[in-house]
Amino acid sequence: MTFLDVLRTAIFALRGNWMRSALTSLGVIIGIAAVIVMVSVGQGTQAEIDRMVSGLGSQRLDISPGSRRTPGGARQAGSSFFTLSEGDADAIRSEIPEVQLVSGSLRGSSQIVFAEKNWASSWQGVQPDFFEINGWSLADGAWFEPQDYSGAGKNVIIGETVRRELFGEDSGVGQTVRIGRTPFVVVGVLAPKGQGGFGQDQDDVMMVPLETGRRRLLGAMGMPAGAVMQIALTVGNADDLPYVQGEVEALLRQRHRIAPGAEDDFSVRNISEIVATRTATTRLMSLLLGAVATISLIVGGIGIMNIMLVSVTERIREIGLRMAVGAGPADVRRQFLAEAMLLSLGGGVLGIAIGVGGALLVGRFSDLPTALNSQVVLLAAGFSVATGLFFGYYPARKASELDPIEALRQQ
C-alpha cells in the first residue's frame, strides 16, 4: 500500500466511528493545549526576568528602612520607618568611591488635576541621579533644573499614563496642573517603559524633586528632617557589588550608631538576589506545569492505545480478510499505526490551536506574561506524533501478528 492508501484507509476507518475518534483525541487535545500554555507561560516569565535583569542591571543596590528580618518595618513605630536620610545618601556618595550614582527618594500617592480631568497616581520625590539609576529617559520637555532640587520648585515630570489621562493627544509640557492642593508646572514627560516585572504599569507615575515632595506633598507626617524612604545606588562595575554592599552596610551602621551585634535598622537588597529567587521559582513552576502536561499527554496516549486495542478486536475479521487478499503484516501494522497517529496528530493540531488561543488569552487577561514561538508549536506537534507512535505501536503490532486463519474464523 502506498502512503496515500494507508492514509485513506485510516481516515475511512476513523470516520466510521467519528464520535469515538473525537473523544479519543480529546485526551491528546487537552495534553497538547496544556503543554503549549504551560511552556508559553514559562518562557514568558523567563523572558520577563531576563528583561528585568538587563533593565535593572546587576549593578544596583536598594536600601530601605527596617531590618532585613522584619520587612514589614513600615508597620512599626514611625521613627523606624524613617531611619534613612539624605545625609546617608550623601555619605555613601562621598565616602565609597566605587559608587557611581545615588539617589534618595520619597513616595506617596496623590490626585493630579488638569482642568476637569482628574487622575489618581503615585508620585516620587527624587534626587538628580534617580532617573539614570532607574533607566528613565525623556519623551518630551526637560529634566529638573538644579534650583528645582535646591528650592523645592513646583515642577513635575509625568509618566506616559498620567500624560494620556490628563492631556490626551497633547504633550502637556508647560501646562499647570494641581497635585493635591498645590499647583505644579509640567516640565517633562517620561518615555514609556510599559509593564513592570510584576505586571504593574510603570508609566503611571509623577516625579517631583525630593524636597518638593517632602514639603508640598507629604505634609506633616512627623518625619525627621531630611528623611528619605529609599536609597538606590549603582556601582560602575558589577564585580564591585558585594564589596560595595558590605561598605554601605558598615557605613550606615556607623552613621546610625548601631552597636555591634545589634540588628540593622535598614536593609540593603541586591536586585540580582531577587532575580535569582524568581528564576528558581519560575523554573520550579515550569517543571510542575510540564509534569502536569506530560501526565495528561500520557493519559491521552493510553486512551488511544485502549481504543486501538478495542478496534483491533472489533475488526479482527476485517484484518483476516485483508490478510487473505494479500495484506502483509507490515501493511496491517502500518494501517493501525496510521489510525493511532491520525488520532494523536489530529488531537495535536486541535490542541495547538486551543493552546495558542489559550496562551493568547492568558497573556491578555491575566498578569502572567506569555511568550509564544514556533518552537513551542513544533515541540507540541512532535509530542503528539511521538504519543501516537508510542501508544499506537503495540496495538498495531498485535493486529499484524494475528493469524489470518484464526482471524477469519472469528465471528
Region binding another protein by CB under 8 A among candidate stretches 230-238, 271-279, 305-313, 324-332: 324-332
Q: Please identify which residue in the block is written with the cell numbers 524633586.
A: 209
CB of 36 or CB of 323, closer to another protein: 323
Q: CB of 12: closest distance to another protein in angstroms?
A: 7
Separation between Cα atoms, residue 380 and residue 300, nearest integer Å: 14
Region binding another protein by CB under 8 A among candidate stretches 121-129, 265-273, 302-310, 318-326: 318-326
Among 7, 9, 353, 386, the residue binding another protein under the rule CB under 8 A is 9
Contact letters (x/-) for another protein, 352-391, by CB under 8 A? ----------------------------------------
Among 154, 275, 331, 389, the residue binding another protein under the rule CB under 8 A is 331
Among 102, 380, 405, 410, the residue binding another protein under the rule CB under 8 A is 405
Query: Which residue spans within 222-321 are E strands per DSSP?
Result: 227-228, 230-235, 266-270
Say which amino acid occupies 13: A
Q: Encode 139-191 in three state secondary structure.
A: EEECCCCHHHHHCCCCEEEECHHHHHHHHCCCCCCCCEEEECCEEEEEEEEEC
Cell of 205: 507615575
Contact letters (x/-) for another protein, 270-309, by CB under 8 A? ----------------------------------------
Region binding another protein by CB under 8 A among candidate stretches 57-65, 168-176, 249-257, 329-337: 329-337
Tell me whether residue 368 is exposed, middle or buried, using C-beta atoms within 10 angstroms of its C-beta: 0 to 12, 13 to 18, 19 or more: middle
Q: Which helix (H) or strand (E) holds 275?
A: helix 271-314
CB of 267 or CB of 400, closer to another protein: 400
CB of 8 or CB of 283, closer to another protein: 8
Tell me whether residue 17 is exposed, middle or buried, using C-beta atoms within 10 angstroms of its C-beta: 0 to 12, 13 to 18, 19 or more: middle
Separation between Cα atoms, residue 64 and residue 62, nearest integer Å: 6
Binding of residue 327 to another protein (CB under 8 A): yes
Among 275, 329, 349, 385, the residue binding another protein under the rule CB under 8 A is 329
CA-based nearest residue to 197, from 71, 31, 2, 47: 47
Binding of residue 19 to another protein (CB under 8 A): no
CB of 323 or CB of 337, closer to another protein: 323
Q: CB of 339: closest distance to another protein in angstroms?
A: 14
Yes or no: say if 322 and 9 are a contact pair by the CB < 8 Å rule: no
Binding of residue 225 to another protein (CB under 8 A): no
Separation between Cα atoms, residue 49 and residue 279, nearest integer Å: 7
Separation between Cα atoms, residue 275 and residue 271, nearest integer Å: 6
| Cα torsion through 169, 170, 176, 180, rounded to 10 | 20
* 65 CA to centre of own chain: 28
CB of 295 or CB of 330, closer to another protein: 330
Binding of residue 322 to another protein (CB under 8 A): yes
Binding of residue 2 to another protein (CB under 8 A): yes
Region binding another protein by CB under 8 A among candidate stretches 110-118, 167-175, 237-245, 316-324: 316-324
Among 97, 183, 236, 328, the residue binding another protein under the rule CB under 8 A is 328
Q: CB of 324: closest distance to another protein in angstroms?
A: 5
Among 29, 218, 323, 372, the residue binding another protein under the rule CB under 8 A is 323
Cell of 7: 492514509
Other Cβ atoms within 10 Å of 137 Cβ, number? 11
Region binding another protein by CB under 8 A among candidate stretches 52-60, 248-256, 313-321, 341-349: 313-321
Among 243, 276, 317, 361, the residue binding another protein under the rule CB under 8 A is 317
DSSP letters along 17-68, please?
A: THHHHHHHHHHHHHHHHHHHHHHHHHHHHHHHHHHHHHHH-SSEEEEEES-T
Q: CB of 398: closest distance to another protein in angstroms?
A: 14
Among 251, 258, 368, 408, the residue binding another protein under the rule CB under 8 A is 408
Binding site for another protein (CB under 8 A): 1-2, 4-5, 9, 12, 16, 317-318, 321-331, 404-405, 408
